[in-house]
Amino acid sequence: MKLRDRGIGVFDSGVGGLTVVREIMRLLPEERIVYLGDTARLPYGSKSPKVVDKFSSQALRFLLKQDLKLIVIACNTVSALSLRKLRKSSPLPLIGVLESGAKRGVEVTRNGIIGVIGTKATIRSRAYPKLIRSLAPQVKVISRSCPLLVPLVEEGWSKSKITYQVASIYLKPLLRQDIDTLILGCTHYPLLKGIFQDIVGEKVVLVDSAQEVAKKVKELLRRRNIRKRGGSPEHTFYISDISRRFVHMGRQILGRELNNLREVNLEEW
Ligand code: DGL
């Protein structure tokens, strides 16, 4: 198969990575997506770097067998902890979500104070502040992990009052430090954008890593001249545990049925 006709792999710990798929589908509707969500072992955000390394290496080995031209690591936790190691064992380009989000954050901040929210593992890794400072050393980064938000979204409570209250508790300290930009450093957070914007007010700009990474994918395909030409793609969704919740949330995020849903045992890879 010609390189340009191959698919784009998207890997996440679960269903949240579909927020990245949604943006890629919007920008590049002709591209075929092969999604891999490790729903059996989610969440990654509360696990140790060693375990995240192991799980993501298994996922990469699986994806490398799927006739792809590039792979997007949609999971912020994997991008923060394991991307460098994964790149060493991948013949295909791997795009993580952190670089694009950090770059956009630096572009939009006016007062040089950026907030970053993510899982415990992402925040503990300090990957976002390191990246941001490498781009703009004068920028101040205030980070906060928000471990309760992923389960609330997974439970389908994205619009509930409780989620609003929990998010307020997490965000208030960042607001007190005068952030003017907030990087949504987790796959699930684009689904809470409305709530976040309500809490932080219109003056704080939200950076949606999913949108930024989709732009990066488009740019890479253009630069390498491997963008697919026309046709209507057949996407495939591999997950390590098919649950009703995945199907329901997937439909909600993508606004369509998830055809070609298949189960894969990542322990075997
Ligand atoms: N996908 C993870 C991330 O973006 C959130 C869910 C998890 O903890 O596995 O960090």
Q: Answer yes or no: do 65 and 7 share one domain.
A: yes
Query: 123 and 88, same structural domain?
Result: no
Please tell me the total count of domains within the chain.
2
Distance 45 CA to ligand 1 centre (A): 5
76 has binding-site annotation: yes
Cβ 69 vs Cβ 92: under 8 Å: yes
Q: What is the pLDDT of residue 202?
A: 95
Q: Which two tokens stand for residue 148?
A: 């309760």
- In the residue annotation, 146 being an active-site residue is answered as no
Q: Cα separations (Å) of 115 from 88, 128, 143, 159, 206?
A: 30, 10, 6, 22, 9
- Interval 117-173: pLDDT, tens: 999 999 999 999 999 999 999 999 999 999 999 999 988 899 999 999 999 999 999
What is the Å distance from ligand 1's center to 265 Cα? Answer: 19
Average pLDDT over residues 7-28: 96
d(CA 239, CA 63): 12
Question: In 3D, which of 154, 78, 83 has the Cα closest to residue 118?
Answer: 78
CATH number for the domain that contains residue 143: 3.40.50.1860
39 is in an annotated binding site: no
Looking at the structure, tell me whether residues 92 and 217 fall in a common domain: yes
Among 11, 12, 241, name the best residue to mutate to test ligand 1's pocket (greatest count of ligand atoms within 8 A of Cβ): 12
Let me know if 186 is a catalytic residue.
Answer: yes
3-state DSSP of 182-237: EEEECCCHHHHHHHHHHHHCCCCEEEEHHHHHHHHHHHHHHHCCCCCCCCCCCCEE
The one catalytic residue in 98, 186, 221, 239 is: 186
82 and 215 assigned to the same domain: yes
Is residue 243 within 8 Å of 39, Cβ to Cβ?
yes
Choice among 18, 75, 83, 117 that is catalytic = 75
Atom of ligand 1 nearest to the CA of 187: 4
CA distances from 35 to 23, 32, 81, 113, 139 (A): 13, 10, 20, 35, 35
Is 122 in the same domain as 246?
no
164 is in an annotated binding site: no
Q: Atom 7 (ligand 1): residue with closest C-alpha?
A: 43
Same domain, 109 and 201: yes
| Whether residue 224 is found in the same domain as residue 172 | no
Q: Is 45 annotated as a binding residue?
A: yes
Provide the domain limits for residue 172: 98-209
Q: What's the CA gap between 255 and 248, in Å, rounded?
A: 10
Query: 157: buried, middle or exposed (CB in 10 Å: 19+, 13-18, 0-12)?
Result: middle
- Whether residue 230 is predicted with pLDDT greater than 90 in this model: the reply is no
User: pLDDT tens digits, residue range 81-122?
Assistant: 999 999 999 999 999 999 999 999 999 999 999 999 999 999
Q: How many Å lie between the centroid of ligand 1 and the Cα of residue 74? A: 9
- Shared-domain flag, residues 159 and 106: yes
Q: What average pLDDT does range 44-52 have in this prediction?
A: 96
Residues 31 and 92 in one domain: yes
Q: Which atom of ligand 1 is nearest to the CA of 186?
A: 4
Position 1 scores a pLDDT of 82
Same domain, 16 and 77: yes
Mean pLDDT of 173-183: 97
Cα(229) to centroid(ligand 1), Å: 33
